[in-house]
Amino acid sequence: MLKFFGVLFLLGVAGFIALVMIGAHVINKPEAVDQAATVSAASAVERVQDATPMIKLPDDERAFVATVFGFKTHYDEAANEFQKSTVRRQRAAALAQLFPAHAVATEWVGTISVRQTNSDGNGYVEIKPLGQDKIALKTWNNALSDIGSDTLMPASSPLYEAIAALSLGQKVTFSAVFLPGDMDYLKEASMTELGAMEEPEFIVRFMDPAHGNAQAPNRVDARSAPG
């Protein structure tokens, strides 16, 4: 009988230890998420440059794309909504480290994916970093959303006129100021968390006209950039 109760006691201890180990694994999960996202981001840096071997992307543009891409990958791998929301907060922290003071894109390279006008005749534009189809830097597309942001391009302004001369899909070198945001550190326009992580749309104020030819990226001040 004593031997029987001894076996039960040992089984109970083993079960308790197993529960403690499982609990520790769950509690430490956010740290594992952060490490995996960092690894994914580092790998993405190389993929960004490999996709555009003839064009040297600015270091901060490569780091930005790698960060967003890396956390998107881990968001897809997260097992539940709690973990997914944790990944989003970790991305915001990573972007804050990338742009600790002023979030500015200076002479980044991208392609024009949207160029339209709103009901007031003002222009709105979307540019995607070169080689990317899931990340966008864009203005608002309506006057109501643009209140306080001033991202729309007034008709007949130099910026409007310069963009009007470009073609969709054209490579350009551009400069822009990221607007500050709450959930994502940088202002992001998606209506859902899924959209913000899978195909983020960052709101920016473009600083200078983009112009040039279709064979190579074109500088914002109309000078031809090397391919």
Read off the pLDDT of residues 177-205 as tens digits, 9 standing for 90 and up.
999 999 999 999 999 999 999 999 999 99
Q: Domain for residue 15, yes or no? A: yes
Count of domains forming the chain = 1
In a domain, 215, yes or no: no
In a domain, 214, yes or no: no
Give domain status of residue 109, yes or no: yes
- pLDDT tens-digit map of 143-173: 999 999 999 999 989 999 999 999 999 999 9
225 in a structural domain? no
Query: DSSP characters for the chain?
Result: -HHHHHHHHHHHHHHHHHHHHHHHHHHTHHHHHHHHHHHHHHHHHHHHHHHSTTS---HHHHHHHHHHHHHHHHHHH-SSHHHHHHHHHHHHHHHHHHSSS--EEEEEEEEEEEEEE-TTS-EEEEEEETT-SS-EEE--SSTTTTTTT--SB-TTSHHHHHHHTS-TT-EEEEEEEEPB-STTSB-B--SSHHHHHHS-EEEEEE-S-----SSS-B-TTSPBPP-
Structural domain that includes position 164: 2-206
16 part of a folded domain: yes
